[in-house]
Amino acid sequence: MFNVNDIRKDFPILSRKVNGKPLVYFDNAATSQTPQQVIDVIVDYYSNYNANIHRGVHTLSQEATDLYEQARQKIQKHFNAKFSHEIIFTSGTTHGINLVANGFSSLLKKGDDIIVSALEHHSNIVPWQMLCESTGASLKVIPMNLEGELVMSEFDKLLSKNTKLVFVNHVSNALGTINPIEYIIEKAHQVGAAVLIDGAQSAPHIKADVQKLDVDFYVASAHKMCGPTGAGMLYGKEVWLNKLPPYQGGGEMIAEVTFEKTTYADLPHKFEAGTPNICGGIAFGAALDYMNTISFDSIAKYENDLLEYATKKLLDIEGLKIYGTSKQKTSVISFNLEGIHPYDVGTILDKLGIAVRTGHHCAQPIMDYFKIPGTVRASFAFYNTKQEIDTLIAGVKKAKLMLS
């Protein structure tokens, strides 16, 4: 049974004060908070298991290896990958995207097209631009409309036999729009293109089934789903991961090294050069356990309720405009007060203990589309409450009064 008051007790940070006021944390799309259950796993790891993995015969190394590999299996199970070696530990979404982009540099040539969407985070734009520069491939963009939705009829027109790759996020971090990835994957596959889904913003809210989606690559970050920073995952279909060359060279990723020739380790180690973020990977597994105990269905239902409540109350404020009005949204609200810079609103809210994000949210093309410098973004998690939203509304009204 979902009980927000009980859930809040799991998050020690939620009882701290900021500027003398109880913290209202609405910057969850940037980084979520960490429950005690995950903090305990981190403390336990460094108190009892800290050792390097995979190559030690001693007990600590074997125990640390077991915990790390168990975490990989938890991630495999959560995203329903067919094999655990299809899960590559990364430092986060950005790392996973760059790993795939680098891998494709030897597979693309002039005349090939790659497609991204107008709703992407910079980390799902820049690596592909770099890939186009190095290979001569062209970057095509699925446009958006005023609701902040992708225009699928334009996507259909961009697809051709030249399309080799399609990259879209499942959910836009700047607007919260949920993109129709099932349609995108199906259509891209019809022309033989591979698809990477950036799940950074969806994974905390929607449980993805990579086999059901039939997606080729899927990336996410632990720190947006109650886990630590510096840890994340890349799922790749076995056939693709075997095809791509390694990303970085070093220890752990080799089978045999001589000065004449080096052979690479099997999956997943081929893509995991060097000592990884062992504790981060283990804590990522613990974070998934925690969220699954609450259940993603309950989380989505509760967050949708918060979204509806906050949207209605914010729209009652005269001169407030919400960007991203799709019916298909996660609990993210991007807004501005007429004639007032988002940074000023964010600063006043901070004085009231309310943490929101202001700026372009690493999605400048979206801001350019709306011809604005940025927005105030409030993003809710399952441990937030309607009472906190009332505090935000009062804060926005106060900011409006002070800055008008």
Residues labelled catalytic: 362
Coil vs helix vs strand at 79: helix
Residue 92 vs 103, nearer CB to ligand PMP: 92
Considering only the stretches 17-25, 37-45, 116-124, 250-258, report the one whose residues sit in contact with ligand PMP under the rule CB under 6 A.
116-124
User: Residue 75 is encoded by which pair of tokens?
Assistant: 């991630």
Q: Indicate whether 28 belongs to the interface with ligand PMP (CB under 6 A).
A: no
C-alpha 11/C-alpha 34 separation (Å) is 6
Q: Indicate whether 27 belongs to the interface with ligand PMP (CB under 6 A).
A: no
Interior angle at CA 305, CA 304 and CA 309, nearest 5: 115
Q: Indicate whether 377 belongs to the interface with ligand PMP (CB under 6 A).
A: no
Residue 137 vs 220, nearer CB to ligand PMP: 220
Q: Indicate whether 121 belongs to the interface with ligand PMP (CB under 6 A).
A: yes
Residue 7 vs 97, nearer CB to ligand PMP: 97
Closest CB 390 distance from ligand PMP, rounded Å: 27
Instruction: For residue 311, give the amino acid letter.
Output: T
Q: Indicate whether 163 belongs to the interface with ligand PMP (CB under 6 A).
A: no
Q: Indicate whether 76 belongs to the interface with ligand PMP (CB under 6 A).
A: no
Closest CB 224 distance from ligand PMP, rounded Å: 7
Phi, psi (5° rounding) for residue 320? -95, 130
Q: Cα separations (Å) of 161 from 80, 136, 190?
A: 30, 17, 9
Closest CB 123 distance from ligand PMP, rounded Å: 4
C-alpha 342/C-alpha 181 separation (Å) is 31
Q: Indicate whether 200 belongs to the interface with ligand PMP (CB under 6 A).
A: yes
Residue 88 vs 340, nearer CB to ligand PMP: 88
Q: Which of 28, 124, 179, 385 binds ligand PMP (CB under 6 A)?
A: 124
Q: What sign for the dihedral angle of Cα 197, 201, 202, 207?
A: positive
Q: Indicate whether 358 belongs to the interface with ligand PMP (CB under 6 A).
A: no
Closest CB 93 distance from ligand PMP, rounded Å: 4
The closest of 293, 156, 132, 159 to 226, measured between CA atoms, is 293
Q: Which of 28, 94, 336, 384 binds ligand PMP (CB under 6 A)?
A: 94
Q: Which of 169, 179, 334, 385 binds ligand PMP (CB under 6 A)?
A: 169
User: Residue 87 is encoded by which pair of tokens?
Assistant: 């899960």
Cα 128 versus chain centre, distance: 17
Q: Indicate whether 375 belongs to the interface with ligand PMP (CB under 6 A).
A: no
Closest CB 221 distance from ligand PMP, rounded Å: 3
CB contact at 8 A, 89 and 228: no
Exposed e or buried b for every residue in 57-90, given b needs 16+ CB within 10 A? eeeebebbbebbbebbebbbebbebeebbbbbbb
Residue 64 vs 210, nearer CB to ligand PMP: 210
| Number of residues engaging ligand PMP in binding (CB under 6 A) | 13
Burial of 9 (0-12, 13-18, 19+ CB in 10 A): middle
Residue 227 vs 268, nearer CB to ligand PMP: 227
Q: Where do contacts with ligand PMP occur on this chain (CB under 6 A)?
A: 92-94, 121, 123-124, 169, 173, 198, 200-201, 221, 362
